[in-house]
């Protein structure tokens, strides 16, 4: 009975995780056209408003106070929101790097293999294209291996061109996993640090039968 209780609890966790993901993408569906329109209205780049904090959005609307362009560029290269004692802190640059190193399991920087979770089987080789945000999607070429932290619906044109996908985050129900199964392309998620360990142009083998990415050159 204790085992059954534990299994039912895990089922409930999975249901809430899927529900959260569904609502997240539903919110993005409605927010993207709104934020895009507002960005243009306030003479920002198309997706700039997505990198504003809530209080910064309010300040923009009331006082037209803008986040400096160089700060936005730093956020676009990588950012995380840390919840600590009911307060959110935005981490970017060196702060983000230190926090990632603190949280990540030890990885051998010289390792020629990266491991993750298989969500769609297959085995392909190709050149790496690392995408840090959606402004870099156009650089993905036909047959390349798309490497990113996580995917969202606006990644789909690039995912169609890619031979396989690798993500730092995610599980069996994440966006990349769902799209990979629909397109029947090899996909490994939850690698934690693929975007840090792989470089544009590197030749890799994505063995999505064993959950291993091998660096060939």
Contacts of 154 by beta carbon, 8 Å cutoff, 6+ apart: 32, 134, 137
**Closest C-alpha to 146, from 162, 124, 170:** 162
Q: What is the pLDDT of residue 107?
A: 53
Tens digits of per-residue pLDDT, 14-57? 888 778 888 888 888 888 888 888 888 888 888 888 899 989 99
- pLDDT band for position 215 (cuts 50, 70, 90): very high
Which residues are catalytically annotated?
175
Global confidence as pTM: 0.58
Q: What is the pLDDT of residue 89?
A: 87
Q: What is the pLDDT of residue 105?
A: 56
CA dist., res. 37 & res. 47, Å (int)? 9
Contacts of 204 by beta carbon, 8 Å cutoff, 6+ apart: 125, 126, 127, 128, 145, 198, 213, 214, 215, 216
Contacts of 93 by beta carbon, 8 Å cutoff, 6+ apart: 74, 77, 78
CA dist., res. 54 & res. 39, Å (int)? 14
Residue with tokens 């990540």: 104
Tens digits of per-residue pLDDT, 127-165? 999 999 888 999 999 999 999 999 988 999 999 999 999
Q: Are 119 and 181 in contact (CB under 8 A)?
A: yes
């Amino acid at each position: 009975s204790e085992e059954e209780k534990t299994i039912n609890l895990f089922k409930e966790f999975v249901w809430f995780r899927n529900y959260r993901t569904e609502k997240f993408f539903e919110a993005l569906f409605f927010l993207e056209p709104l934020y895009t329109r507002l960005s243009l209205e306030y003479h920002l780049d198309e997706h700039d408003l997505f990198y504003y904090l809530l209080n910064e959005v309010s300040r923009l609307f009331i006082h037209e106070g803008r986040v400096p362009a160089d700060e936005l560029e730093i956020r676009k290269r990588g950012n995380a929101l840390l919840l600590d004692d009911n307060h959110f802190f935005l981490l970017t640059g060196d702060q983000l790097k230190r926090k990632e190193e603190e949280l990540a399991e030890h990885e051998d920087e010289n390792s020629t293999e990266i491991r993750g979770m298989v969500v769609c089987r297959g085995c392909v080789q190709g050149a790496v294209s690392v995408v840090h945000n959606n402004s870099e999607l156009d650089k993905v070429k036909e047959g390349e291996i798309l490497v990113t932290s996580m995917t969202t619906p606006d990644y789909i044109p690039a995912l169609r061109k890619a031979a396989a996908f690798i993500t730092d985050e995610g599980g069996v129900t994440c966006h990349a996993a769902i799209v990979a199964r629909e397109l029947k392309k090899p996909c490994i998620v939850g690698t934690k640090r693929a975007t840090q360990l792989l470089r544009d142009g590197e030749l890799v083998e994505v063995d999505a039968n064993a959950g291993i990415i091998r660096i060939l050159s």
